[in-house]
């Protein structure tokens, strides 16, 4: 009996995917549940497993192809399994892919735990027995273990990009292809000889012909020894997520009447409050008190007063939302994602800080769920963590407002007739001018400023 390998339904907002890499080839014997192919979507990456045991008799779509949900990728034939090798056999050299003393490395990994992906990096393998032991505990796909053995890569030092930090085959191949520290070749130098005292000297020129002697000699030009620069080019296809980001940003600029307004906020009160309560807050809640929670709370207070900034346009109607789901932009290695804090008006400062840190960790690990990314009524993005002093954020459709935070920088300001130095931050609000008036946007930003500069007022909100 044969069974089709199909693109699974991942979520209602995902209708297509891209084949990142086939992990098996035609003719391979597989068991039910074995990972067969890696798929890349605009939100998450996933593996498609074998629906039954048998032989992979046909692959219909190749690496790099774009496919739709429900589309057939290949076929597994159960009847042909009897003639093939055991799926754990090494298809290239006949050696076993599984470690000695365990018939199922995936069970071993699940029972023994995994390394923290935040503390690992990509590197070549090592002969250190301690590191080999760590490698056996690393969560990795069978294909990744196979590739690690072939390329002599230490799995314990590879950062996984799969679910829950699981090491994928592509991670191992990237670690194997990392540039070495071998010295670059030097450019050729003019021929020289070595004198009796060891000093290098130029070789004497060849005798000139009589005709050459008769002509006036041109001024001699010393050869310039310049290193040859790297002028190579590399063509890299955008990932599914990066292509989606590009498309949505262009759509936002072409469909919304975007305008930005700016203000600055004195962070003195927030910084002083954090200094007083930083340690007790962490001891009580197990998380540090950052600045993000202050702006999230301040945004909710301002959105209550200006509800059209917490709305969206549907046709010729404005949908005014009475709940507050605030998206927090997180920059991960695979691209920007915006996980959403649900009903943030009901959350405490500690809950907000914990959730944001969890989002940042899972965004880098690639373990955010689709439910984390859906919806959102307003977005906050903080370019200040990268050193940005001022920027104009782009809307996250269908939202009509986004607040941009920036670097906190000590600057001289005039206060009560005197020049004082204060920790200041520029804020930017980009809004859709189709339903948000300029005065409304300006007053919204002023209200955020007032609430942040007087943190006690946030408790009243």
| Residue 122 pLDDT exceeds 90 | no
Q: Where are the domains of the chain?
A: 2-176, 251-460
Q: Residue 194: beta bridge partners? A: 200
pLDDT at res. 189: 42
Give residue 284's pLDDT band: very low, low, confident or very high (50, 70, 90).
very high
Q: Model-level pTM?
A: 0.60
**Cα–Cα dist 349/51, whole Å:** 45
pLDDT at res. 216: 52
**Cα–Cα dist 331/281, whole Å:** 26
| Residue 105 pLDDT exceeds 50 | no
Give residue 228's pLDDT band: very low, low, confident or very high (50, 70, 90).
low
CATH number of 251-460: 3.30.559.10
Q: Residue 402: beta bridge partners? A: 379, 430
Establish whether the linkage from the previous residue to 52 is cis, with ω within 30° of 0. no
Beta-sheet pairing, 335-337 with 401-405: unpaired
Report which listed range, 182-191, 207-216, 356-365, 379-388, is most confident: 379-388
The tokens of 386 are what?
């990268």
Could you read off the pLDDT of 91-101 as tens digits, one per residue?
433 333 433 33
Look up the CATH architecture of domain 2-176. Answer: Beta Barrel (2.40)
Could you read off the pLDDT of 381-410 as tens digits, one per residue?
999 999 999 999 999 999 999 999 999 999
**Cα–Cα dist 275/410, whole Å:** 17
Helix or strand run (H / E) with residue 134:
helix 129-137
- DSSP labels, 370-405: HHHHS--SEEEEEGGGGT-S---PPP-TTBSEEEEE
Q: Looking at per-residue confidence, does 27 or 200 come out higher?
A: 27
Report which listed range, 33-47, 228-242, 379-393, is most confident: 379-393
Angle, helices 349-365 vs 292-305, to 10°: value is 110
- Which residue from 305, 373, 361 is spatially nearest to 332, judged by alpha carbons? 361
Beta-sheet pairing, 29-30 with 35-40: unpaired
Helix or strand run (H / E) with residue 360:
helix 349-365
Q: Which residues belong to the active site?
A: 433, 437
Mean pLDDT (the chain, rounded): 79
Coil, helix or strand at residue 248: helix
Q: Is residue 276 classed exposed, middle or buried when 0-12, 13-18 and 19+ CB atoms within 10 A define those classes?
A: exposed
**Cα–Cα dist 260/433, whole Å:** 9
């Amino acid at each position: 009996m044969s069974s089709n390998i199909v693109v699974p339904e991942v979520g209602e907002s995902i209708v297509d995917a891209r084949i990142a890499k086939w992990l098996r080839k035609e003719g391979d014997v597989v068991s039910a549940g074995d990972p067969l192919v890696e798929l890349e979507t605009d939100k998450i990456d996933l593996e498609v497993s074998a629906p039954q045991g048998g032989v992979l008799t046909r692959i219909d779509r190749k690496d790099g192809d774009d496919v739709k949900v429900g589309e057939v990728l290949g076929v597994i034939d159960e009847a042909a399994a009897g003639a093939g090798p055991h799926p754990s056999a090494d298809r290239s050299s006949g050696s076993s892919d599984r470690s000695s003393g365990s018939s199922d490395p995936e069970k071993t990994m699940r029972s023994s735990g995994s390394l923290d992906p935040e503390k690992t990096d990509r590197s070549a393998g090592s002969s250190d027995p301690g590191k080999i032991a760590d490698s056996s505990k690393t969560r990795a796909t069978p294909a990744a273990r196979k590739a690690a053995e072939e390329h002599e890569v230490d799995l314990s030092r590879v950062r996984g990009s799969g679910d829950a930090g699981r090491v994928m085959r592509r991670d191992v191949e990237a670690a194997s292809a990392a540039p070495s520290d071998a010295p670059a070749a030097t450019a050729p130098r003019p021929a020289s000889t070595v004198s009796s005292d060891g000093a290098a000297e130029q070789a004497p020129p060849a005798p000139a012909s009589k005709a050459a002697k008769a002509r006036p000699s041109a001024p001699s030009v010393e050869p310039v020894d310049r290193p040859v620069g790297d002028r190579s080019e590399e063509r890299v296809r955008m990932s599914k997520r990066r292509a989606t980001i590009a498309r949505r940003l262009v759509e936002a600029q072409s469909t919304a009447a975007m305008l930005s307004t700016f203000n600055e906020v004195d962070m003195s009160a927030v910084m002083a409050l954090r200094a007083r309560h930083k340690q007790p807050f962490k001891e009580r809640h197990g998380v540090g008190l950052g600045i993000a929670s202050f702006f999230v709370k301040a945004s909710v207070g301002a959105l209550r007063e200006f509800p059209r900034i917490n709305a969206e346009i549907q046709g010729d109607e404005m949908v005014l939302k009475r709940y507050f789901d605030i998206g927090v932009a997180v920059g991960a290695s695979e691209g920007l994602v915006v996980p959403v804090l649900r009903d943030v008006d009901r959350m405490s400062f500690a809950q907000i800080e914990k959730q944001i840190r969890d989002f940042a960790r899972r965004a880098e690990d690639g373990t955010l769920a689709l439910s984390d990314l859906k919806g959102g009524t307003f977005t906050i993005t903080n370019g200040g963590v990268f050193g940005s002093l001022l920027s104009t954020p782009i809307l996250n459709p269908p939202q009509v407002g986004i607040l941009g935070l920036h670097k906190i920088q000590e600057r001289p300001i005039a206060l009560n007739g005197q020049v004082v130095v204060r920790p200041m931050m520029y804020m930017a609000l980009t809004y859709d001018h189709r339903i948000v008036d300029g005065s409304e946007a300006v007053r919204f930003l002023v209200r955020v400023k007032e609430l942040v500069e007087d943190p006690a007022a946030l408790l009243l909100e």
